[in-house]
Amino acid sequence: MQKKILFVVTSHDKKGNTGENTGYYLGEVSHPWEVLHKAGYEIDFVSPKGGKPPVDGFDLEDPVNKEFWENEEYKNKIDHSMKPSQVKANDYSTIFYAGGHGAMWDFADNTQLALIASKIYENGGIVAGVCHGPAGLVNIKLNNGKYLVDGKKINAFTNEEEAEVKLTDIVPFLLEDQLKERGAKFEKSGLWQNHVVSDQRVITGQNPQSAKSVGEAILKELKK
């Protein structure tokens, strides 16, 4: 029996003090889900607060979003996401942090999630994220005391993309800068380009356009 995959989604629903709603970005869950689900993997969901997470990027014109949203089993799973305290790290081969701006407020400082991720990684598993999801990677430390991203090629939502959506002064930190501070070799493409990098079982993608490719990269790594 193959180990399951754990998707992490944000519980945070506001972009700072702007009054604008946010949450997990639907396409960044549905596109990797479709790739991995079709390959026969079971997926569970966790969020910092558990329960029903807020959703953003809600576009059912996207057939993959629609397929996920109308899948009763998975819609029920994400609407009843686990709390970090309910997760048994040994059950999972992979942890994947989905993006959406909310992740910038509640991923980085969640020590329980960081511990789960470090256990999965130290067990030989995969740590992945897309867009703002890699906010969850910035404080993961390994048994040797080093940051997970230190010395690895990493990719995430860029400073330029944050400026483009005019949230540079709203987010609590700039993801690209923070990852570089942790020793990541940050790679990037132009605005909204599909860019995915895989380095030593850490797989990261730049933006919503990269979500499916992250799923495919996880699948490729799982098959090794």
Is 162 annotated as catalytic? yes
pTM over 0.75: yes
Q: Which residues of the chain have pLDDT under 70?
A: 1
| Domain boundaries along the sequence of the chain | 4-222
Helix (H) or strand (E) holding 100: none
Which among 131, 161, 176, 195 is annotated as catalytic? 131
Is 132 annotated as catalytic? yes
Rounded Cα distance between 77 and 80, Å, is: 5
Q: Which fold has domain 4-222?
A: Rossmann fold (3.40.50)
Q: What is the pLDDT of residues 154-195, one digit of tens each?
A: 999 999 999 999 999 999 999 999 999 999 999 999 999 999
How far lies 18's CA from each of 167, 169, 172, in Å?
Answer: 10, 11, 13
Is 160 annotated as catalytic? no
Which among 28, 161, 162, 176 is annotated as catalytic? 162
For the chain, the C-alpha Rg in angstroms (whole number) is 16
Within 8 A by CB and 6+ apart from 123, the residues are 89, 90
Q: Percent of the chain having pLDDT more than 70?
A: 100
